[in-house]
Structure 1
């Protein structure tokens, strides 16, 4: 799973190389966050399949990787092998259609997986857990319908998201109820949004429909992210090149201004292209970082030539560039990030996958690519004093 960072100048929430959401930062609510909180999973899917739940991640108190049982007790993974060995069965029987169950979430940086019809296959290497990688035709989970939500529960509260960074497969929403006030939710599709997304992607020219995976019986399993589409050859490796070339041409003679921190508008960086390099200077004219001309994979994955280290200069600039490329706002607004989502995805060359996901979200929020949190357009809820978390499995219509 791909690295994702949610970064501000004063606090960090990120997905580590293991692919899990973590967070740091203090606050007055710390003492109020208990060791575990309830997570209620409600099945409104309309499907008759059995549902299996997994709560996998890193114990924040010890740094150990493992899983949590329904009571919120932590179990460390045993040593793995090479070739990988089967992991212990960490599944929790989920609710049937129309039902709910409540489990406990420990202080974890983790993922809640939910699969339909059959259990997921997890294995352990000497380096830890092998996450599902359904872009690989030989992955044992390739023909299983599943998805996952990333979360962190720590002394500063709960962060939980509805993500499509790797794939769009299962309609679901997440929520958190604070000690006071209304429950915060995100991730619900519009009525008919599931079918509308797949129909729109299938009908999009340029090979975008090739991102759709179906089961042997022809039913839809998922749409892969465009990064995996490029990596597997499902969509052309040069699919974003025309837009990238136009950006490169524009900023050979104009300046791109990046203001990466909404809470620090005085911090600005200025980008100009020279040859194959875009150099960024600070307000003193000092070059602080440089980027080589990216390719489509770098844009879709927000990595490689758009690498975003967890720092306060290159990482924030790269995040902003990544968002501008995926949303195709770099040509229309030389001041980034563009705050107005009505300007997003207007170019003929854009991240059609992310565009179509956002179009079908009830609140317009989604994690269509790794740094969709730039400008707070991501499907994430947070509270510093969470009393209850929710995952709702929504209808496939």
Structure 2
């Protein structure tokens, strides 16, 4: 299967690495799986909201590399050339089902996003480099006051990967599912009853500025909670919010060795980290230094980038993924063997990614994509099958 780097396009995106992450953990489809050019996606509107619903299937063709959109029949349309300043994109919206109803469309083989918005169409623009995604951390973004969300998916000859994601923001609730080739149904992403409002209430109650992540419309309607990365970048969350934990980790591993076993299916592949000065150096089993990390800041931790960059390789990237998960879950001080396998150990330090903690706590199955490498240890909200019969997107109640 293809390997894709985890990155933003332009925002940190969990799905951009679905194939790469699954390759890392040894997932492969049946050898004889036959995936058609399009598969049905059933969209069910259980939101209880009366506004018109607008659906979009946007992404990159894995055969041509073109960016574009798909209509309700699953036909792919490349975007026209953009401009500078950005020019309006063609209207790619599909009318969604009204409250209490379902509609089935078809989705083609691409890697991208399925957006949905309530009451108002999204404003997409095209630059000379391609599509501009909504960036609601920017107060002047035209989509800032629209209630919307998205799922991320990859469909190719190896099957379907479909997730629910909170990597960029927590907003309109939904569940994803797949009817597998064996006829069984897998689903994830559903909040517990009261979980939607519970996330916002818990963020507001969390000391340290976490309530600043919550965004509302001028009329007071709650729209979303920004990810802590965006909170730090915009000043909604203090940039020093993780400093105490990061400093304690660096202090601990100046005298203790951090052992990283990045591949679940390769238990013999281990790397050993020690801090010297401001740098954590990792050696292999032969004692050779294979990569080094400067002490990260909160933005690097929450975004799993910059000082914790994770290239799509077999050494630095896998080590960085593991470090990033350990920092966000606050397991690095309590367990010198990473990744920590037990969710019961996550988020126990007073200094942690409380956004991720709060979201995971309110998921019915405990699974979420609350930061970019939440798939370390398989704690992500993802469904996959090598021979999918049908995909599902259920828009859940706002309670």
Which of the five TM-score ranges fits, normalised by the shorter chain?
over 0.9
CA distance in 1, matches of 2:32, 2:158: 5
Deviations 1:163-190 (A, max 9, x none): 0000001110100111214200000000
The equivalences for 1:344-355 within 5 A come to 344-355=346-357
2:8 is the alignment partner of 1:23: no
Q: What is the alpha-carbon root mean square deviation over aligned residues? A: 1.3
Number of residues of Structure 1 aligned to a counterpart in Structure 2? 388
Q: TM-score, normalised by structure 2?
A: 0.95
Partner of 1:380: 382
Q: Provide the rounded CA distance (Å) in 1 between the counterparts of 2:132 and 2:52.
A: 24
**Structure 2: 5+ residue stretches without partners:** none
In 2, distance between residues paired with 1:14 and 1:198? 31
Task: From 368, 372, 383, give the equivalent of 2:370.
Answer: 368
Among residues 336, 340, 343, which one is paired with 2:342 in the alignment? 340
1:117 lines up with 2:119 in the alignment: yes
Structure 2 match to 1:321: 323
Query: How far has the Cα of 1:295 moved from its partner?
Result: 0.2
Distance in 2, matches of 1:376 and 1:211, equals 26
What is the aligned partner in structure 1 of residue 310 from structure 2?
Answer: 308
Match of 2:95 in 1: 93
Query: Equivalent of 1:59, from 55, 58, 61?
Result: 61
Q: How does 1:89-168 map to 2 (within 5 A)?
A: 89-168=91-170
Structure 1: 5+ residue stretches without partners = 1-9
Where 1:206 maps in the other structure, the secondary structure is coil
Q: Deviations over 1:299-325 (max 9, x none)?
A: 000000000000010000000000000
Structure 2 SS opposite 1:201: helix
Deviation at 1:219, TM superposition (A): 1.0
Paired with 1:73 and 1:330, the residues of 2 have a C-alpha distance of 47
SS state of the match for residue 330, structure 1?
A: coil
Residues 29 and 157, structure 1, Cα contact 8 Å, conserved in 2:
no
Change over 3 Å in CA distance of 1:36–1:29 after alignment to 2: farther
**Cα displacement (A) at 1:27:** 4.3
TM-score of the superposed pair, with normalisation by structure 1: 0.96
Q: Deviations over 1:42-83 (max 9, x none)?
A: 000011111100000011121110000000001000000000
Q: Does the Cα contact within 8 Å between 2:5 and 2:311 map onto a contact in 1?
A: no
User: After superposition, where does 1:220-231 map in structure 2 within 5 Å?
Assistant: 220-231=222-233
1:239 alignment partner, one of 238, 241, 249: 241
Tell me the residue number matched to 1:268. Answer: 270
